[in-house]
Amino acid sequence: MVEMTVTSRRAARALVLVFALAATAVADKVVLNDGRTYEGVVLEETDTSVRFKTAKAVLTFPRKEIASLERSPVGPLQERETRLGVLDPGKPAEYLAAANWLVGPGRGALDLPTLRRLCTIAAKFDRAHAWEAQMLLAKETEAAGLNREAGTCLARAEIAKPGQAETKSRIEKLRTVLMREAQTEMEQLQKALTLLTGEQYEKALPGLRKARTGAMSERAPDLMGMSMEQLVTFVARRVKCEKCNGQGELPCPLCEGRKESECADCEGTGTRKDYKGGGREVNLAESACKTCHGLAKLLCPRCDAERDVIVFLAAAPTQFTIRVKGGSETATLQKEIDFKRFTHQAIKITMILAEPPRSGGTLPCTPCEGIKFDSSAPPLPMEKLRAYREEVAACLIGTRTYDPLPVAEKAWDPAVIADEMLRYRNGRWAR
């Protein structure tokens, strides 16, 4: 027993070492003075700061906060930044080349969102290579288990270059896989609809939620007069959630529903603790707490708390109002107010008044997806529900044919580049 523990521990340590080596081989490493460590890619180094890209975000560290910075030898992550950084929307073929690099030698730096974007830009702006781009994306999405997306890519490939034997054979293979998945999804849907027509709302709800994006869900608007998403909302309103007692929301755990909290630095007074002045004429620039700038209470950053802040001035326009949100409160105010001098466009500020929060304090309840219980919800269209269930049943037993392959209208997916970000600059996609 003891022997085994030692051996397995040793094995575990060896494994950790292997992972550590693999990680340091490709990633740069920043250690901050407070001990926090980040792995990723150094984008830019200046005398005063380091811009650093992690898997989640692009961060800027002031030099004085950095204890150590380790540069790894150039690996796929660094090369990826270089390759993406030179892409030019005027040369769409290069996007496909970058995609091919990512799924080949650069696989260590592969992520699907980037691949989707590269292939979509290539397919849209370089029709000659649209087929190749979609076939590549189909292969990678299928490998990731995203069979429906892979099916859509193949449908787009067929639009880009119709009648290719390779597209056809890939579509047929995928159709078999998708049909098996569709079978399971339709069985689930049928079960849920049967419960629903028997007015067993609570029992039907979990199955309906699972089936809302599955096979046959796309036909719901035609057959039932509403989408599956609408049906779920419809049914959920009739089921009282236990967690939130049907309210659809829960008090925010961070502020416990208070929407705001006293500034810790000034204990909710708004005045610096070491401020000795006073009297009638208060000089905000000297007296105001450096953390809350005299607001005394700060909005909760968790629950979308909002309020108005009224700023009074010594001269016209004498006052104005700023709407602020929890988490970005002082940043928003800083755009209008010079907190060093306590001025707004060089006019002296005499007072800052924070109104009570107008919203916030709650978070949507997860199990019921934020849908409030409504005892007077209108009845469900039972006839239409039955018709929909009959159609699902007919597809299941094969008296009606069902093609599980998604359809596409274009050789590329407009949703992927709806944000119009076609260039990669400083570690992120931009316009």
Is the Cβ of residue 84 or residue 263 nearer to Zn ion in the bound state?
263
Strand runs labelled E in 33-110: 37-45, 49-53, 58-62, 66-70
Chain centroid offset of residue 426 CA: 20
Is the Cβ of residue 329 or residue 391 nearer to Zn ion in the bound state?
329
Question: Between residue 315 and residue 354, which ones bind Zn ion under the rule CB under 5 A?
Answer: none
Kindly state the tokens that stand for 240.
């009282």
Query: Smallest distance, Å, CB 352 to Zn ion?
Result: 12
Question: Contact with Zn ion (CB under 5 A): which of 77, 231, 292, 385?
Answer: 292
Residues in the interface with Zn ion (CB under 5 A) total 17
Kindly state the tokens that stand for 309.
């802040």
Distance separating alpha carbons of residues 341 and 314, to the nearest angstrom: 13
Is the Cβ of residue 228 or residue 298 nearer to Zn ion in the bound state?
298
Query: Smallest distance, Å, CB 263 to Zn ion?
Result: 3
Query: Smallest distance, Å, CB 304 to Zn ion?
Result: 8
String of DSSP letters for 355-405: PPPSB-SEEE-TTTTTPPP-TTPPPP-HHHHHHHHHHHHHHHHTSS----S
Residue 371 interacting with Zn ion (CB under 5 A): no
Kindly state the tokens that stand for 327.
């988490």
User: Binding string to Zn ion for residues 203 to 242, with x set by CB under 5 A, is what?
Assistant: --------------------------------------x-
Residue whose C-alpha is closest to residue 233's, from 248, 244, 218: 248
Distance separating alpha carbons of residues 250 and 360, to the nearest angstrom: 11
Those residues with Cβ within 8 angstroms of residue 304's Cβ, 6 or more apart along the chain or in another chain:
325, 326, 359, 360
Question: Contact with Zn ion (CB under 5 A): which of 159, 244, 349, 385?
Answer: 244
Question: Contact with Zn ion (CB under 5 A): which of 137, 155, 303, 337?
Answer: 303
Is the Cβ of residue 187 or residue 265 nearer to Zn ion in the bound state?
265
Is the Cβ of residue 289 or residue 416 nearer to Zn ion in the bound state?
289
Considering only the stretches 18-26, 47-55, 337-345, 359-367, report the one whose residues sit in contact with Zn ion under the rule CB under 5 A: 359-367
User: Binding string to Zn ion for residues 246 to 275, with x set by CB under 5 A, is what?
Assistant: ------x-xx-------x-xx---------
Order the strands of the 58-62 sheet from edge to edge: 58-62, 49-53, 37-45, 28-32, 66-70
Cβ(51)–Cβ(44) below 8 Å: yes
Considering only the stretches 86-94, 114-122, 155-163, 361-369, report the one whose residues sit in contact with Zn ion under the rule CB under 5 A: 361-369
Query: Smallest distance, Å, CB 57 to Zn ion?
Result: 23
Is the Cβ of residue 26 or residue 263 nearer to Zn ion in the bound state?
263
Residue 155 interacting with Zn ion (CB under 5 A): no
Cβ(155)–Cβ(406) below 8 Å: yes
Is the Cβ of residue 119 or residue 371 nearer to Zn ion in the bound state?
371
Residue 368 interacting with Zn ion (CB under 5 A): yes
Phi, psi of 344 (to 5 degrees): -125, 115
Cβ(244)–Cβ(362) below 8 Å: no
DSSP code at position 280: S
DSSP code at position 417: G
Query: Smallest distance, Å, CB 379 to Zn ion?
Result: 23
Is the Cβ of residue 219 or residue 325 nearer to Zn ion in the bound state?
325
Residue 298 interacting with Zn ion (CB under 5 A): no
Residue 291 interacting with Zn ion (CB under 5 A): yes
Question: Contact with Zn ion (CB under 5 A): which of 195, 300, 333, 422?
Answer: 300
Query: Smallest distance, Å, CB 360 to Zn ion?
Result: 6
Omega before 317 cis (within 30°)?
A: yes
Is the Cβ of residue 16 or residue 264 nearer to Zn ion in the bound state?
264
Considering only the stretches 56-64, 87-95, 288-296, 401-409, report the one whose residues sit in contact with Zn ion under the rule CB under 5 A: 288-296
Distance separating alpha carbons of residues 255 and 222, to the nearest angstrom: 45
Query: Smallest distance, Å, CB 34 to Zn ion?
Result: 23
Query: Smallest distance, Å, CB 229 to Zn ion?
Result: 18
Question: Contact with Zn ion (CB under 5 A): which of 98, 216, 365, 416?
Answer: 365
Those residues with Cβ within 8 angstroms of residue 31's Cβ, 6 or more apart along the chain or in another chain:
37, 66, 67, 68, 69
Query: Smallest distance, Å, CB 368 to Zn ion?
Result: 3
b/e 247-266 (16+ beta carbons within 10 angstroms → b): bbbbebeebebbbbbebeeb
Chain centroid offset of residue 87 CA: 25
Positive or negative, the CA dihedral 231, 234, 239, 241 is positive
Give the residues lining the site for Zn ion (CB under 5 A).
241, 243-244, 252, 254-255, 263, 265-266, 289, 291-292, 300, 302-303, 365, 368
